[in-house]
Amino acid sequence: MTSRIRILTVDDQPLIRMGFRMVLESEPDLEVVGEAADGEDAVAKASSLQPDVVLMDVRMPGVDGIAATRRILDLHPRIRVLILTTFDLDEYAFAALRAGASGFLLKDAHAHELLAAIRAVHQGDAVTSPRVTRRMLELLGDRLPCGDGDALSAAALTDREHDVLLAIAEGLSNGEIAQRLSVAESTVKTHVGRVLAKIGARDRVHAVIFAYENGLAR
């Protein structure tokens, strides 16, 4: 039997933490190893419990989810942080992504979406649906800096990889990119992996950030 994914839930509302625990512990491959009610507690428990994935609320008393995410990942880069947010908190979620989080989910996500997100993050993938990514860019795209781009990283991309990066920045899924470029989805996955490696992005969420912050997309 493979080892279970160890999860730390962080939210200042006990009922929400209880709800997460009920959903997560119904799955044989998931284990809630701890709970935290604020960012300070989250940092301490991440250090002592060494979870695989942290479910992180954004707005909490004291140390918020953004600061906690930054501190946890500075200390423990292997831990994956999944931000929990609502549409009106996207700007806060975006700041957490810049701090190193691997994605974000809406708090009203269905149980199966939450479970899939945790497993995806644990495997090293990003977690934002194209719908949420597009919404983030609608709200924040005109506020992201558009510089001249990272010349070294951009120059390392082939023309096809550049096209893939721009499609990622639009919030397209692998299937949508495959349809646009008239290639197999497996080919897109290969291109995405190479793009992430060349630009030094943790995952495709950070590829979106890279593209906008470096003026490669608008």
- Give me the tens of pLDDT residue by residue for the chain, a chain 218 residues long: 468 999 999 999 999 999 999 999 999 999 999 999 999 999 999 999 999 999 999 888 899 898 999 999 999 989 999 988 765 555 666 677 778 888 778 778 888 888 988 998 888 766 665 555 666 666 555 554 444 445 556 678 899 999 999 888 877 778 889 999 999 989 998 999 899 888 887 777 778 778 877 777 66
Domain 5-127 maps to which CATH number in 3.10.520.10, 3.30.230.10, 3.40.50.150, 3.40.50.2300? 3.40.50.2300
Amino acid, res. 69: T
Domain edges within the chain:
5-127, 141-213
Domains 5-127 and 141-213 share a fold: no
State the CB neighbour count (10 A cutoff) for residue 157.
Answer: 18
Q: Quick one: which H or E segment has residue 30?
A: strand 30-36
> CB-based contacts of 218: which residues, under 8 Å, 6+ apart?
141, 146, 212
Architecture of domain 141-213: Orthogonal Bundle (1.10)
